[in-house]
Amino acid sequence: MVEVVLNNIFELSAYLSPIFILAAFAVTTPFINYILKQMGKEKYLGVWTSFAFLSSLIVLTISLIGIRWLGEPIILRLGFSPIESTLIIDPLGQFFAFIFLIVSLAAAIHSITYMERDLNLGSYYLLMQFMTIGLVGLTYTNDLFTFFVLWELMAISSYVLVAFRYHLDEPVEAGVKYILMSGVGSLIMLYGISYVYGFVGSLNAKAIHFGLTALPFIPLIFVLSLLLIGFGIKAAFFPFWTWLPDAHPAAPSPISALLSGIVIKAGILGIIKFIVPVVGFIRLELGLTMAVIAGLTMTVANLLALMQDDIKRLLAYSSITNIGFILIGVAAAIYGAGISGVASSLFHTFSHALGKGLAFLAVGSIIYRLETRSISKIEGLGRKMPFTAAALIIALLGLAGMPPLPGFWSKWLLIYSSIQAGLWGLAFIGVFNSVLAVIFYLWLLQRLFFAEPTEKVLDEGKEPPFPIKLALALLMVIMIIIGFYPAPIFDMVINAAEVFMMLFG
């Protein structure tokens, strides 16, 4: 572990360049917006935002390779004790940041055309950038204080984005529920953080690990369950998922892609960063608790998903199911599988983020042309919009774990880790649920490709404009490449998990 004490903003910006680039773009966005508005070309703000994400992604990739090469994490100290904030640059966080930025980039590109008919694009893109800053920032955090601040930055931006089209009924209602539920969740998490502080006297991840492991059982459970609710409401697992099927479909499609693809992963990130190390070595029983939650989350959400006619709502439920899958890895990690558990969670986070992002963007393309979300109205879509339909199907089959797409590899790793941990039942529930999911996806495939096109599809169906296609192609190509050649991601996630576990080892 390399420790660096930072003295000035320049050093900081060098180490945290992906965030600083994003921040620099965000700060200038209002001015750019003003200029573009004067020119009457407001929609090109999307290009600017995409450019922000792209440059940050490039810098991040370099840093990712550097970290892989260094082989150990860098810890940054800023401020002075005891309110110093420590940040960490480790493969785990970088991997998350990588996922976050890829999906954000695709969503931003998609927004260029998708949002062209909307007003207030300046605030839309600004909020999108803030949300991404919050998310990417979260991956660097090493203490609960910084984590909470960035968490709120991300959360509040997302509240506004859900209700962005406030002239419609649905976003408003979903927004109200989302903000009330998620707000209370954040506060419960903060309550948990206050007790962490009360018991440990510090909020640093390592201190938490040592402090909490020494606690007796009852207070430990109390603190952890408060934290778990905070993370859980954001990650939407059983039984906290209720806001998600409202909020995610209500947002504009690129935002849905962000929310379902990466924002809920922030909760997973929190769990992996702050809960797995605490309980992962001593309290194996908590693995069983997580296993029960994972099983319930998957099964209930899957059953609910089967009934949807609204395609976005279907995808939202499928997100909950996949959160359940990711929790399999978490449960296995806690229950003794350690590295492979964390690695499988990371891999599934990757495949779900890309798959769900792609699915929502593809649906966005359908909505852009047909302005409907009802599955029964988009039957036979494959005839008129083959590219979009193919993207949707690749996304769904990828999520369902059809080889050779990333979902298969992550599920392979998930089963591996859960059996390695001895959680046979969980492995079976997991595989069974993926079977259940496949049923629905196949049924959807059949309706999209084989059914007679509806009149609406025949009249209005047309491939989307270039930016949407580009966004879809970006994610689709990554998914297919990783599906056929998963070695790099395997390497990244296993390395990330090893280094992460080493931190606390």
Partner 1 sequence: MIPYAPWIVWTVPIIIAFIHPLLEKISGKLRDFMAIFAVFISAVSAASMIPDVIKGSVVINGVEYHIPYDWKLEGWLPLPTGSIEVGMLIDPLSVFMANIVGWIGLLIMIYSIEYMHGDESITRYWMLMNLFIGFMQLLVLADNFLIMFFGWEGVGFASYALIGYYYKDEKKYWIGPYSPTHAGMKAFIMTRIGDVGLLVSIVVIYIYSGTTNFLALSSNFGWMGNLARDGLLAITLLLLFLGPVGKSAQFPLHEWLPEAMAGPTTVSALIHAATMVKAGVYLVARVTPILYLGYASLGELIYPSLNTFFITVAWIGGFTAFLAASMGMVSDQIKKVLAYSTVSQLGYMISIIGVAGLLIESEKLFFEGYIAGISHLYSHAVFKALLFLSAGAVGHAIGSYMLRDAGGLKKYLPRTYLVMFIGLAALSGIPPLNGFFSKDGILHLLYAEHMWPLFILLSLTAILTVFYSFRLLGLIFYGERENLEHGHDTHLHDPGPFMMIPLLILAGASVVGGFLLPNLHGFFEFWAVEGLGIHIEKITLQSFLTSTFTSPILLVSLGIIIVGIYPAYSIYIRGALSAEELLEKYSVLRGIWRFLFERWYINAIYYKVFVDGTRFFSEILFKFIECNGAGQKIKSFYSSLAEEFRYIQTGYYRINMIYVLLGLLMIIILALILGV
Partner 2 sequence: MIEANQMLILTAFILIIIGLYIVITKRNLLRILVGVEIIATGVNINFIALSLLKHPGLLDPLPHVLAITSILLDGALVGVGLAITLIVYRKYGTLDIDTLRRLRW
Residues 233-272 that bind partner 1 (CB under 8 A): 233, 238-240, 242-243, 245-246
Tell me which of 1, 180, 214, 439 binds partner 2, using CB under 8 A. 180
- Residues of the chain by 3-state class (helix, strand, coil), percent to 5: 80, 5, 15
Q: How far is the CB of 91 from partner 1 (least distance, A)?
A: 15
Stretch that binds partner 2, among 12-20, 200-208, 465-473, 493-501 (CB under 8 A): 200-208
Name which position in 116, 118, 152, 463 contacts partner 2 (CB under 8 A): 152
| Residue 464 · residue 305 · CB < 8 Å | no
From candidates 30, 66, 71, 201, binder to partner 2 by CB under 8 A: 201
Q: Which is nearer to partner 1, 273 or 313 (CB)?
A: 313
Q: 85 vs 132, which CB is nearer to partner 2? A: 85
Q: Which residues of 249-267 are buried (b: 16+ CB within 10 A; e: fewer)?
A: bbbbbbbbbbbbbbbbbbb
Judged by DSSP in three states, 117 sits in coil
State which residue, 98 or 416, has the beta carbon closest to partner 1: 416
432 is an interface residue for partner 1 by CB under 8 A: yes
Q: Which amino acid is present at 376?
A: S
- Cis amide prior to 239 (ω within 30 degrees): yes
Chain Cα centroid distance, residue 313 = 17
CA 361 centroid distance within chain = 15
Binding to partner 2 by residue 222, rule CB under 8 A? no
Does the protein bind partner 2 through residue 119 (CB under 8 A)?
no
* Nearest alpha-carbon partner for 258 in 141, 390, 107, 77: 107
Which 154-213 positions form the footprint of partner 1 (CB under 8 A)? 176-177, 180-181, 184-185, 188
**Min. distance of Cβ 144 from partner 1 in angstroms?**
19
Q: How far is CA 219 from the centre of its chain?
A: 30
CB of 124 to partner 2, least distance (A): 15
CB nearer to partner 1: pick between 416 and 500: 416
Query: Which residues 323-362 are close enough to bind partner 1 by CB under 8 A?
Result: 340
Using only the alpha carbons of the chain, give its radius of gyration: 21
- State both tokens at 149: 């601040």
Asked if 356 contacts 441 with a C-beta cutoff of 8 angstroms, the reply is no
User: How many C-beta neighbours within 10 Å does residue 497 have?
Assistant: 28
List contacts with partner 2 (CB under 8 A).
82-83, 145, 148-149, 152, 156, 159-160, 163, 166, 169-170, 172-177, 179-180, 183-184, 186-188, 190-191, 193-195, 197-198, 201-203, 245-246, 250, 304, 307-308
